[in-house]
Chain A
């Protein structure tokens, strides 16, 4: 469902009927996977839930601090129960709250958890932002860092960098959907997704361990369909199902979301399609944003040593031609403010992309794991190339200051500790 200005006005009219003014109660079991606001841009976001009730469903949306100004929109879920509303024409840079409400014949209502999100900054705005990020969120783990984000931090947007669930074992669409339902039934994940807007990519475990584009196309398509159903992502009109995209938040930051899995073809040495690579290069070069954050599900950093060489073929390092082309392009054009964000490694890392050569002027942060076993290597990245590495379950928090050109980087665990805190000039 796309909600444009006309529908927003309609919603304002609906507000006057009074049904939308009911106070929020506890979340109903009719919304077993919680809510989410995906891909927030300067005009709106994709508001999502899964509804298992039988009555009519509506979305209520109101600006922060003004619950009386409540917009109401009718929503028709899919057979799977997925309700996705594209809300547009909201004011840029503002916080919005929302909830889905199901009506029953007897007049009772079932209400989802209340979610919130911030629309992206206006195109020419330059303001500090707080970004959260993590990865590797196995639904079998406690996922305490997510709860901490929901409890303590108000991130302007949160980035999930892949392995956002572990769907291993699934092959059919129904099986992938079931994995998503299980993963999103976890309260820490629901609370995180309700606490702010979400921009995410996928990695192998949304499909299967070490997935590439050379897997059974039917399996990839099933995983893709389920992922698009449960992760509110903006689809490209020209290429439905295409994952890679960019979202700009004013002149502060532009997020470049990569697909590092489904276009990969190890048999031909292709890490990603020429189309995606050229799109990324052109986008980075043209972006007016002070910072360019690349959501790159598998590290582009050069990890030296024999233990890390064992998994070389599963990351950029195993595809040196494309990696070098991209890094040399960025450095050759002197594109400022590029920061790589990654996951996959079951290890939080902050450091430079390379010790020497292409990438040595750029930095990468591996955020997470939010919940996974520790990377089994007997040695973790260390100076001088790397500033920090940890296997503790974590989220990374980035405070972007575009005026100063600095990023404060913190790694927080699922309790009360700050594992690492530094400021980089980019």
Chain B
């Protein structure tokens, strides 16, 4: 996580709409700190669980030909990485904004759609980086399939790109969703 921090910071600075102003000049109750903490904790937990599910997906697919034939197939491993990224995206992008409901109180509530929109606004480039990494892994698998040892570097590069992109996407989705929810916060 530490090594991804500069990348995340850069993306945050470059992303449009950070600190978007409220749409209406209405006094809205601020989110209580405990509810903020509950959101952050839950979102981090969800991201972690999504990571575990993703790894499980990738490892399961990678291990299928090993179990069947005693050796892996690079294309299957690369496909496993694509599937893992898909699982991670589905869990994080669809569920993290839902967790912004933890900031709702009897006096005010945020808009989950706005949270998801802001999360996507921030996180999309990281997701794109992950997709490119997965594509790189697939290309590397093709090279490796043709000649042992020749495509592993590309596969490894793609794998690293997917890992750090997903990590960045997690952070950006969590930050973005909260920004979107708080910015759209309205009195009940």
B141 within 8 A of A: yes
B66 within 8 A of A: yes
User: B132-162 toward A: CB 8 Å interface, digit per residue (1/0)?
Assistant: 0000000001001000111111011000000
A403 within 8 A of B: no
Chain A residues with CB under 8 Å of B74's CB are: 378-379
Which listed residue, B62, B71, B78, B155, touches A306 by the CB 8 Å rule? Answer: B155
Give residues 57-85 of B contacting A (CB, 8 Å). Answer: 62-63, 66, 70-72, 74, 77-78
Chain A residues with CB under 8 Å of B78's CB are: 378
Chain B residues with CB under 8 Å of A380's CB are: 71-72, 148
Chain A residues with CB under 8 Å of B77's CB are: 378-379
Chain B residues with CB under 8 Å of A392's CB are: 70
Measured CB to CB, the nearest residue on chain B to A389 is: B71
What is the minimal beta-carbon distance from B73 to any residue of chain A, in angstroms?
8
Q: Which of B141, B144, B148: most chain A CB closer than 10 A?
A: B148
A386 within 8 A of B: yes
| Docked pose: A308 CA to B149 CA in angstroms | 9
* Known interface pairs A374-B63, A378-B62, A378-B141; A305-B148 also in contact (CB < 8 Å): yes
Q: Is the CB of A378 within 8 A of B72?
A: yes
Q: Is the CB of B63 within 8 A of A306?
A: no
Give residues 368-406 of A contacting B (CB, 8 Å). Answer: 374, 376-383, 385-386, 389-392
| Docked pose: A218 CA to B93 CA in angstroms | 53
Q: Is the CB of B72 within 8 A of A379?
A: yes
Q: Is the CB of A390 within 8 A of B149?
A: no
What is the minimal beta-carbon distance from B64 to any residue of chain A, in angstroms?
12
* Known interface pairs A378-B77, A378-B141, A379-B144; A308-B152 also in contact (CB < 8 Å): yes
Give residues 279-332 of A contacting B (CB, 8 Å). Answer: 303-308
| Docked pose: A380 CA to B63 CA in angstroms | 13
Measured CB to CB, the nearest residue on chain A to B149 is: A304
Chain B residues with CB under 8 Å of A379's CB are: 72, 74, 77, 144, 148-149, 151-152, 155
| Docked pose: A307 CA to B150 CA in angstroms | 11
Q: Is the CB of A391 within 8 A of B66?
A: yes
Chain A residues with CB under 8 Å of B148's CB are: 304-305, 379-383, 385-386
Chain A residues with CB under 8 Å of B156's CB are: 306-307
Chain B residues with CB under 8 Å of A382's CB are: 148
Chain B residues with CB under 8 Å of A378's CB are: 62, 72, 74, 77-78, 141, 144, 152, 155
Chain A residues with CB under 8 Å of B141's CB are: 378
A419 within 8 A of B: yes
Total contacts A to B, CB within 8 angstroms?
62
| Docked pose: A376 CA to B155 CA in angstroms | 14
What is the minimal beta-carbon distance from A418 to any residue of chain B, in angstroms?
12
| Docked pose: A376 CA to B71 CA in angstroms | 10
| Docked pose: A389 CA to B78 CA in angstroms | 20
Q: Is the CB of A306 within 8 A of B153?
A: yes
What is the minimal beta-carbon distance from B115 to any residue of chain A, in angstroms?
37
| Docked pose: A390 CA to B149 CA in angstroms | 16
What is the minimal beta-carbon distance from B126 to any residue of chain A, in angstroms?
24
Q: Which of B141, B150, B152: most chain A CB closer than 10 A?
A: B152
What is the minimal beta-carbon distance from B169 to any residue of chain A, in angstroms?
23
| Docked pose: A385 CA to B148 CA in angstroms | 9
| Docked pose: A388 CA to B155 CA in angstroms | 22
Chain B residues with CB under 8 Å of A376's CB are: 62
| Docked pose: A259 CA to B10 CA in angstroms | 51
| Docked pose: A377 CA to B148 CA in angstroms | 12
Q: Is the CB of A374 within 8 A of B66?
A: yes
Chain A residues with CB under 8 Å of B149's CB are: 303-305, 308, 379
Which listed residue, A307, A383, A390, touches B71 by the CB 8 Å rule? Answer: A390
| Docked pose: A385 CA to B155 CA in angstroms | 21
Chain B residues with CB under 8 Å of A385's CB are: 148
Q: Which of B63, B66, B78: most chain A CB closer than 10 A?
A: B66
Q: Which of B66, B71, B77, B156: most chain A CB closer than 10 A?
A: B71
Chain B residues with CB under 8 Å of A386's CB are: 148
Chain A residues with CB under 8 Å of B152's CB are: 304-308, 377-379
Q: Which of B72, B141, B144, B156: most chain A CB closer than 10 A?
A: B72
Q: Is the CB of B71 within 8 A of A391?
A: yes
Q: Is the CB of A305 within 8 A of B66?
A: no
Q: Is the CB of A390 within 8 A of B155?
A: no
| Docked pose: A286 CA to B129 CA in angstroms | 59
| Docked pose: A378 CA to B153 CA in angstroms | 12
Measured CB to CB, the nearest residue on chain B to A420 is: B70
Return 30 A-B CB contacts under 8 Å, by A number: A304-B150, A304-B152, A305-B148, A305-B149, A305-B151, A305-B152, A305-B153, A306-B152, A306-B153, A308-B149, A308-B152, A374-B66, A374-B72, A376-B62, A378-B62, A378-B144, A378-B152, A378-B155, A379-B72, A379-B77, A379-B151, A379-B152, A379-B155, A380-B71, A382-B148, A386-B148, A389-B71, A390-B71, A391-B70, A391-B72
Tell me the A residues contacting B by CB distance below 8 Å: 303-308, 374, 376-383, 385-386, 389-392, 419
List 17 additional contacts besides A379-B74, A391-B66; criterion CB under 8 Å: A305-B149, A305-B151, A305-B152, A306-B152, A308-B149, A376-B62, A377-B152, A378-B62, A378-B141, A378-B155, A379-B72, A379-B77, A379-B144, A379-B149, A381-B148, A382-B148, A385-B148
The 7 closest A-B pairs by CB, nearest first: A304-B149, A305-B152, A378-B77, A305-B149, A390-B70, A382-B148, A392-B70
